[in-house]
Amino acid sequence: MKLFEMNHVQKSFHNNTLHVLKDINISVNEGEVVAIIGPSGSGKSTLLRCATLLETMDGGDLIYMDQYAARNDENGNSVYGDKAQLKKVRSCFGLVFQNFNLFPHYSVLKNLTDAQTLVLGRSKEDATKRAMELLEKMGLASKAGAYPCELSGGQQQRVAIARALAMDPQILFFDEPTSALDPELTGEILKVIRQLAEENMTMVIVTHEMSFARDVADRVIFMDGGVIVEQGDPKEVINNPKEERTRQFLSRFSNN
Amino acid sequence: MTLMTMIMKMSEGFTRTCAIFFLTLIFSLPLGMIVALLRMSKNNIVSNVTRFIISVLRGTPLMLQLLAVTYGPLYLFGWSVSRNKLIPVVIAFAINYAAYFAEIYRGGIESMPVGQYEAAEVLGYTKSQTFIHIILPQVVKRIMPSITNEVVTLVKDTSLAFTVSYMEMFTIGKQIANSETSFTPFLVAGIFYFVFNAIVDFVMGKIEKRMDYYK
Ligand SMILES: Nc1ncnc2c1ncn2[C@@H]1O[C@H](COP(=O)(O)OP(=O)(O)OP(=O)(O)O)[C@@H](O)[C@H]1O
Ligand SMILES: [Mg+2]
């Protein structure tokens, strides 16, 4: 089943002088893990930000489980749904940021329960139960009462992943989840994502970890200059890229 | 007049000093937030008008504003001067301090990293939930030292009420000083303010400490 779909996405900045996304088409099926790779400035983050409604697209469709968040009109402009529609759509996805963006004034537990009670209307008991389940899974149950500033970067990112999962999203987006971490801490995050993949969580991951993308993803998308240059089976794309641009990009990771 | 009667008379005025102090805080702290939100309004007219008003309030002496609020209605509309001068005094103080608090709030709100808004938005918080639950508590912690500064200044500023002859401590002290041709009331007043501010410092310090549970 198709969970997420973007068609003909156009996005520019600076009064249309900087064309960042040029007719992007992506769809993701339930249970699929998609890795997005590409050089800096190619538009990967912008793509995720459009998908998660943090940026508005200039043109294109944005669809979650057959519900339109935005629809292309006859002039090729994105027309977004109303507040209620966007709220419904928002409950379909979660996003894990590069720099975590935990709420520093909340304990780890409250970071996980606050949105559950405020947004989903769950009871405090249910929210706490769900939060503790997830913390257990992340190996952080003992940190429930701690504050984010007392945790390592890797622990903070695991809390951020748990916070996103607590909302029970259908699809989870990651924007370079290990880039802000010391190299020795990236492993614990990749392990968590790997585990989620084994549980058939649908995920779209922007990453520079080529070997990770190759091992975990079902599909790799290579972006450059605002277009999808190549996509397909990770081993094919990463080991035997068809396109010259992909080859050039990957040669920088040759030691991987 | 003995020192004791002097102190007694002045402590009577001190109740009024406290009235100015607390009423000003009660009104200006929330009013400042409203002014800050208007100042940050996306509507250019609203934000520019608010900015102008703030700059007038911060750019003219509080003493002048006290006179304007107290006697302005008399000169403009022929209304009699309010019998209880506490009302115009508190109005002038509250408006003036709201302008200062507004700028402190605005600075605090604008210093918040955009990631906090984005994380809340993706989780589905509404704009007002984000502001109340995520932004405001962090802003309060950030601006507490600046608020303390203003509160300490307010303690001393209450003495400006003498310009409209409101019978707070300093006004009484000044009258005694004139009639007794003595400097002692000023010394007494100085000690009052100093002790008051020591208490304020202590309380604000406690509040700041209570917010020290994170970063
Ligand atoms: N809010 C914005 N305003 C203006 N320009 C922007 C904005 N966001 C992104 N850009 C520009 O869009 C282009 C694509 O940026 P984007 O962050 O999507 O790239 P990226 O592929 O994620 O790169 P990186 O690997 O460095 O994270 C860049 O040239 C960037 O400067
Ligand atoms: Mg990026």
Q: What is the pLDDT of residues A59-88, one digit of tens each?
A: 999 999 999 999 999 998 999 999 999 999
Contacts of A91 in chain B (CB under 8 A): 124
- The reply to whether B143 touches chain A by the CB within 8 Å rule is no
Q: Read off the tokens for B123.
A: 């989780």
Between β-strands A93-96 and A78-80, what pairing exists: parallel, antiparallel or unpaired?
unpaired
Residue B163 has pLDDT above 90, yes or no: yes
Mean pLDDT over A189-196 rounds to 96
| Percentage of chain A lying above the pLDDT 90 cut | 95
Question: Could you tell me the distance, in angstroms and rounded to a whole number, from the CA of residue A232 to the centre of ligand 1?
Answer: 24
How does pLDDT run across A229-253, given as a tens digit for each residue?
999 999 999 999 999 999 999 988 7
Is the CB of B138 less than 8 angstroms away from the CB of A104? yes
What is the rounded CA–CA span in Å between residue A252 and residue A248? 7
Test A105 with B141 for CB contact under 8 angstroms: yes
Are A90 and B124 a contacting pair at CB < 8 A? yes
Candidates B168, B170, B203, B206; CA nearest to B189 is: B170
Question: What CATH number was assigned to the domain covering residues B3-110+169-214?
Answer: 1.10.3720.10
Q: What is the largest CA-CA distance in chain A?
A: 55
Instruction: Tell me, yes or no, if A90 comes closer than 8 A to chain B by beta carbon.
Output: yes
Residues of A whose CB is below 8 A from B115: 97, 99, 101
Q: What is the pTM of this model?
A: 0.92
Q: Give the ligand 1 atom nearest the CA of A42.
A: 21
Determine which residue's CA is closest to atom 7 belonging to ligand 1: A13
What tokens appear for B18 in the block? 């406290």
Question: For residue A181, what pLDDT is reported?
Answer: 93
The residues near B17 (Cβ < 8 Å, ≥ 6 apart) are B158, B159, B168, B169, B170, B192, B196
pLDDT at residue A254, rounded to an integer: 65
Q: What is the pLDDT of residues A146-179, one digit of tens each?
A: 999 999 999 999 999 999 999 999 999 999 999 9
Whether A256 shows a pLDDT value over 80: the answer reads no
Domain-wise residue ranges, chain B: 3-110+169-214, 112-143
Question: What percent of chain A shows pLDDT beyond 70?
Answer: 99
